[in-house]
Amino acid sequence: MNTLNHTHEAAAKSWVASAQGHADFPIQNLPYAVFCRKSGHEAWRGGVAIGDEVLDLAALQAKGLLSGLAAQALHEASQSTLNAFMAMGHEAWHALRIALFDLLSSSASEATQNAVRNCLVPQTEVRYNLPTQIGNYTDFYTSIYHAENVGRIIRPDDPLTPNFQWLPIAYHGRASSVVISGTPFRRPMGQAMPPGTKAPVYGACARLDFELEMGFFVGPSNALGEPVALKDAPSHIFGMCLLNDWSARDHQFWEMNPLGPFLGKNFCTSISPWIVTMEALAPFRQPFERPADHPQPLAYLDEASNRAAGSLDIQLSVAIESVAHRTASKPASRISATSFKHQYWTTAQMLTQHTVGGCNLQSGDLIGTGTISGPTASEAGAIVELSQGGRVQVPLHETGEQRTFLLDGDAVIFQGWCEKTGFARIGFGSCSGTVLPAIS
């Protein structure tokens, strides 16, 4: 696990004025993205968020301010994708974090500040691309509260499958339909079996849903046939982002007998542009605790450091912005809030489970954590839970509207952040997407 160092100190300040007390991107965060300016025809390149600015890593590299391993890491992080940088591993990630922190610190020399200032681009002037070339995308199913809530809708008498408490369940998603936050998507077409009928119908999804998730990116790869032990799994995880696994519930529930999700999931997955590194998240780790009366993890999924600090307290919220919100210039309506700490399995356990059969993960692969729901009704991470399968209306208080599932024109907005006494608040920014009408 990442240890704490001077980059985590709450008192640390940056000479970048907008970084002071920034809700998401103070100097203690320094997340990565791939960006270019909105104007012109610039090449994509790596960037780091500091306050309201993006530190252009390609421009910084041209300054020649760094040396050694940090300079090598900067070279890879300044490319059009972050795959090669992620492959370098923790030592290189740490070296670049320390170097960037020192360049942006209020203690940096005036000459350094002037040189780096020329590498800053206002976030309002940039657009983002996917941070890696995603070779593969896997989505887990690791919230026991989500599993029970959805299970009660599908199987009221037996909501939790027998395997859930024994292994992190997952399915292989579609990497080609992963999109960056802000990208609109079409309501999908497909088959569904309406209640009380004997034959399916073909049409536009009538039960469109979001899933509040986080994603994490694979760092160094593992060779085919060589599993990653749980104690080594954290060294294979670069960082985390927000993730929305949009779901066509009517199509999904019909097609999932006997195999897993297909068309109900493969039409779109949205991710936030900024990747918060695991080192930045170190202050917000918590013990991984399994209730004593629950099955305990098998030996290969159990290890001292994972029990001591395998969980992460990441606060999350979901809001809907409808056409009516935009017409009336009203803020989006928050409908749910929870924490990632409630997940039944840790990111390290997910990665180990993914490789235990010999699967070779590749640098830059994306892994979803599954829907994140908490123990109370207001902490549900999907509208199918909040509406109890469409039986209960979910209020949008700012406009007086209600929802059981998403309508065309609805935008769903996720936000995520970490805060803890004695440490600076850091955040993930937001992840959003807007539903467009189906093409029939």
Residue 283: name the closest of 101, 90, 425, 104 by CA: 425
**What's the token pair of residue 117?**
């200032």
DSSP class of residue 275 equals B
| Residue 132 structure tokens | 């890696």
List, as own/partner pairs, every contact residues 290-298 make where C-beta atoms lie below 8 angstroms and the sequence separation is at least 24, other chains included. Answer: 294/165, 295/165, 295/166, 297/349, 298/166, 298/167
Local structure of 159: helix, strand or coil: coil
CA 4 to chain centre: 23
Choosing from 146, 236, 251, 354, the catalytic residue is 146
| CA dist., res. 58 & res. 392, Å (int) | 51
Classify 352 as helix, strand or coil: helix
The identity of residue 380, as a single letter, is A
Nearest to 14 by CA among 93, 117, 91: 117
- Residue 430 bridge partners (DSSP): 415
How far is Cα 14 from Cα 27, in angstroms, rounded to an integer? 6
Does the annotation mark 146 as catalytic?
A: yes
Cα 180 from chain centre: 11
DSSP assignment string, 197-217: -SS-EEEE-SSEE--EEEEEE
Helices first, then strands: H and E counts in the chain: 11, 26
For the chain, give the number of residues.
Answer: 440
Q: Which residue, chain included where needed, has tokens 């160094």?
A: 220
> Which ranges of 209-331 does DSSP label H, i.e. alpha helix?
249-255, 304-309, 323-327
- Can you give the three-state secondary structure of 34-98, one letter per residue? EEEECCCCCCCEEEEEECCEEEEHHHHHHHCCCCHHHHHHHHHHCCCCCHHHHHCCHHHHHHHHH
Active site residues: 146
